[in-house]
Amino acid sequence: MSIAAPLTRRDIAYRGFHLPAETTAGGGDGLLVTDRGLVLEGAGERGTWTSPPVRVGFPVAEVVPSWTADSPDGCWIEVELRGWHGDAPATDWYRLARWAADDHSVRRTSVPGQRDGDARVDTDTLIVTGATVSGWQARVTLCRPTGSPTSPVLRSVGAVATGPTPTGPTEQPGYDADSAAARGRVLDVPRYSQRLHAGQYPQWGGGGDSWCSPTCTSMVLAYWGAEPAPEHYAWVDPSGPRPVVVHAARHCYDHAYAGAGNWPFNTAYAGLHGVDAFVTRLRSLVEAEAFIAAGIPLIVSAAFRADEVPGLAYDTSGHLMVLVGFTADGDPVLNDPYAPDDDSVRRTVPRQRFEAVWQRGSGGVTYVLRPPSVPLPPPPAQPNW
């Protein structure tokens, strides 16, 4: 098989707002600032925080939001985005999520069917189609039923904006990662197989082929010692091979998408367990090496044909894996949940070929999960974390 074509590099910019520290950066209505985050004021049933416009300095093609929040039973949040250009909005508002931590009272869901001449929503992504957009703005509404004594808590919200896919190889400033610190380093992330759950719980996607994302999220939470306590998944019956993965699949499940692979729903689930979590895009494995050097495993999304990447002998239109390290020669070491058992999860793949299917398949989509006490590596000149 021929070597993949040279990779293109897209403009990518991430901006997150941590609340309450950055509450005054935006505008709030009906909310109270607490040391836990933003909550509803008084007996109000709805309150909204709107971010300032985030100008990214390049034409925007896609925006993916992410957030961390809590929502007691019966409560939920709604997350919206709109495009921005110059000094004014460039699109209407589009709703990306109606999200709740649990599913007893509120169905966690993306909102299909939103499309006009300016943009459209594809599950977890706002795709610009006709408008001129060079920035974004987020709006999060906290909601609770009448008479509820508890409130949702909003702790963070952000988004990654991405420029159009270049038509050929492009030159961009390199990122000065400490590659030497990542080479030969493999983080001790537990190995979980999604396929051990084949046929389980069809109401949440049926395990097997469809639980790659929550399985990866569970692996990384376990690496940080942040997985849910056993009493939180005692309802899993029979307990099966790993009930914590069933718990994650249920609580990441998007009822409109009919799957557990909604990107920000997975990071929002992780955020319920005490970690800082967000979705971004990375431009290359050089950027990923900076995270491994910092001790932070990454969850990455790729698409490929069987054996397009030696060692990955199956077809997928989109699959999540945990990047746990690099060999001394710089080849990626993965925890790939699409394995028949836990012992088979660890795989090493050729660097160039894997980078190509990651960048081509999702534009470098990456979940970043880490305790607040673990610092992120310094970002590149065009910050994408």
Q: In whole angstroms, what separates CA 73 from the centre of its chain?
A: 23
The β-bridge relationship of strands 365-370 and 316-326 is unpaired
The answer to whether residue 173 scores a pLDDT higher than 60 is no
Phi, psi of 353 (to 5 degrees): -70, -40
Work out the mean pLDDT of the chain and round it to a whole number.
95
Q: Is the pLDDT at 314 greater than 70, yes or no?
A: yes
Residues 6+ apart with CB under 8 A from 143: 45, 46, 75, 76, 77, 78, 152
363 or 209, greater pLDDT: 363
Distance between CA atoms of residues 270 and 220, nearest Å: 9
* Each residue's pLDDT tens digit, 125-150: 999 999 999 999 999 999 999 999 99
Please state the rounded mean pLDDT for residues 351-359: 98
CB 78 within 8 A of CB 143: yes
Fold of 12-162: Jelly Rolls (2.60.120)
Domain 179-370 bears CATH identifier 3.90.70.10: yes
Classify 226 in phi/psi space as left (phi over 0), alpha (psi -120 to 50) or beta: alpha
Whole-prediction pTM value? 0.95
For residue 69, give the nearest of 268, 276, 217, 270 by alpha carbon.
Answer: 268
Q: Are 236 and 243 in contact (CB under 8 A)?
A: yes
Domain map (residue ranges) of the chain: 12-162, 179-370
Please state the φ and ψ torsions of residue 228, each to the nearest 5 degrees.
-65, 150
Residue 6 pLDDT greater than 90, yes or no:
no
Among candidates 116, 114, 118, 137, which has minimal Cα distance to 128? 118
Instruction: Report the pLDDT value the prediction gives residue 243, as an integer from 0 to 100.
Output: 97
CB-CB contact of 205 with 257 (8 Å) = no
**How far apart are the C-alpha atoms of 318 and 343, rounded to whole Å?**
23
Pinpoint the alpha helices (H) of 179-316.
Answer: 179-182, 212-223, 243-252, 263-271, 285-293
